[in-house]
Amino acid sequence: AQSVTQLGSHVSVSEGALVLLRCNYSSSVPPYLFWYVQYPNQGLQLLLKYTSAATLVKGINGFEAEFKKSETSFHLTKPSAHMSDAAEYFCAGSGGYNKLIFGAGTRLAVHP
Amino acid sequence: GAGVSQSPRYKVAKRGQDVALRCDPISGHTALYWYRQSLGQGLEFLIYFQGNSAPDKSGLPSDRFSAERTGGSVSTLTIQRTQQEDSAVYLCASSAYNEQFFGPGTRLTVL
């Protein structure tokens, strides 16, 4: 069965520092992969998606992610954190009927 | 343009009550999904609609949960005889081109 694992339920960085949120997937066939962000009391907003067109995917708000088949990883990065990046981030893979299979989420805190 | 809307945004129910949660998808999106977000279980898939049909109901946790979609548009998720463990945020998403657009969710609290 396909699964998505996010390492680290909480990540804390300083403003201006590199953001790295880790995601590994388990699948016999590279799926579609997604990163979503959730701000308090809001729904999920798509940051970026991998659909096999390119291994390095650029998303909104300066985020990007690299698909590495050899490592079954799809880590999310941003070179310089901003206070407004504080939120919860979810990695997801697509299952049957394109339903999303989510990781447990990583809460990102950004401190001055 | 209009996104996915859900109503009510907040719902408090007494244990044993029935509740109905509504989702209005983006116009023209034929695919619609329901998910549940709870502290203990994270984000879980509940049900998938293509048009008015639900080819995948595998995520519905019990027969107290049901959903329908009419006119290929509005969907209603119904929970009968609510239990405390049903307390969660219920998210709806409509989809086009392999991208899902989420509504703000309905926060259900069962007392």
Q: Which residues of A touch B43 (CB under 8 A)?
A: 90, 92, 100, 102, 105
More confident residue, A86 or A52: A86
For residue B8, whether the previous peptide bond is cis, meaning omega lies within 30 degrees of 0, is yes
Across the interface, whether the CB atoms of B91 and A43 are under 8 A apart is answered yes
pLDDT in tens, A58-70: 999 999 999 998 9
pLDDT in tens, A20-42: 999 999 876 667 899 999 998 88
Across the interface, whether the CB atoms of A96 and B56 are under 8 A apart is answered yes
Q: What is the mean predicted confidence (pLDDT) over A80-85?
A: 96
Task: Band the pLDDT of A51: cuts 50, 70, 90.
Answer: confident
CA distance A98 to chain B (A): 7
b/e A24-47 (16+ beta carbons within 10 angstroms → b): bbebeeebbbbbbbbeeeebbebb
Where do we find the tokens 């308090």? A40
CA A28 to CA B77: how far, in whole Å? 33
CA distance B80 to chain A (A): 24
On whether the CB atoms of residues B81 and B97 are closer than 8 A, the answer is: no
Q: What is the reported pLDDT for A29?
A: 61
* Residue A36, token pair as written in the block: 């979503």
Q: Which residues of A touch B50 (CB under 8 A)?
A: 97
Across the interface, whether the CB atoms of A99 and B98 are under 8 A apart is answered no
Residues A32, A37, A41, CA angle at the centre, nearest 5°? 135
Which residue of B35, B91, B99 is in closest CB contact with A46? Answer: B99
pLDDT in tens, B68-85: 999 989 999 999 999 999
CA A73 to CA A66: how far, in whole Å? 8
Judge whether residue B86 has pLDDT over 90.
yes
Three-state SS letters, A18-50? CEEEEEEEECCCCCCEEEEEECCCCCEEEEEEE
CA B87 to CA B24: how far, in whole Å? 21
Which residue of B35, B42, B95 is in closest CB contact with A98? Answer: B95
CA distance B36 to chain A (A): 11
Judge whether residue B99 has pLDDT over 70.
yes
Q: What is the reported pLDDT for B1?
A: 55
Q: What is the reported pLDDT for B39?
A: 86
For B100, the closest chain A residue by CA position comes to A46
